[in-house]
Amino acid sequence: MDWISFADQKRARYAAAYGDLDERGLVRRGNVAYAAGLALLMAYDGAAQDWLRCAAADWRSSWDAGAPPDAWGRPLGALKASLLAGDDEAAGELARWTLDLGAEAAESAIGRYAATLALLAAGRDDDARTLAARLRERDDFPEDVADALAAIAAADLAAYVEALCSVVASFETRDAFLEDVRVADTALVLHELARRRGLHAPLPASDVLP
């Protein structure tokens, strides 16, 4: 895969946007910026951080522009993008914002997922562990992702590695990816949160990871 050429295509699409953007338009721009950022991550290109920050900003703006109250994918995406960009300040602010929106009490799995990431990003590991346990009980959320979140919150290295490998394997067998970017972004986010807690384990060798 020529990740630089792929990223160039996404950057060109992003630059082609013009005029006022409604909330759906901002979501689409965020998607394209995130795709460019992930592609650049795969190419070990430092410009990835700028595009991931751009994605986070667009998704945040899309919420403020009138998103439905259950559009939890937007704060979730913004938080993931900031974590992958290594932007601690933005990740902390987005974590507080996500929790202030009421994600912990969301009915949807995606809302609870956003809340769990936010709690981990905010360093509230005990609360994150409780919420991850509830995600484990749901039929509409990947069990291995919930396991990984719980393991990170508990600082359980062995459980984390096992769950992470399962998450990567699930991405390897997928057919559909956001903006056709075949990258295990969930695994990368989990890896970043684990690293912050001293859970040092290499990412599995995979063509969906750098």
Tokens of residue 79, six digits: 């938080």
Tens-place pLDDT, residues 16-73 = 865 668 899 999 999 999 999 999 999 999 999 999 999 999 999 999 999 999 999 9
DSSP-derived letter for residue 180 is G
Higher per-residue confidence, 194 vs 1: 194
In the prediction, which pLDDT does 59 show?
Answer: 97
Average pLDDT score over residue span 107-120: 97
**Has residue 156 got a pLDDT over 90?**
yes
**181, containing H or E segment:** none
Tens-place pLDDT, residues 76-100 = 999 999 999 999 999 999 999 999 9
In the prediction, which pLDDT does 16 show?
Answer: 87
Give the CATH architecture of domain 3-196. Answer: Alpha Horseshoe (1.25)
Query: What SS3 state is found at 10?
Result: helix
Distance CA 40, CA 36 (A): 6
**200, containing H or E segment:** none
**Has residue 205 got a pLDDT over 70?**
yes
Cβ(99)–Cβ(115) below 8 Å:
yes
CA angle 28, 190, 208 (to 5 degrees): 65
**Has residue 193 got a pLDDT over 80?**
yes
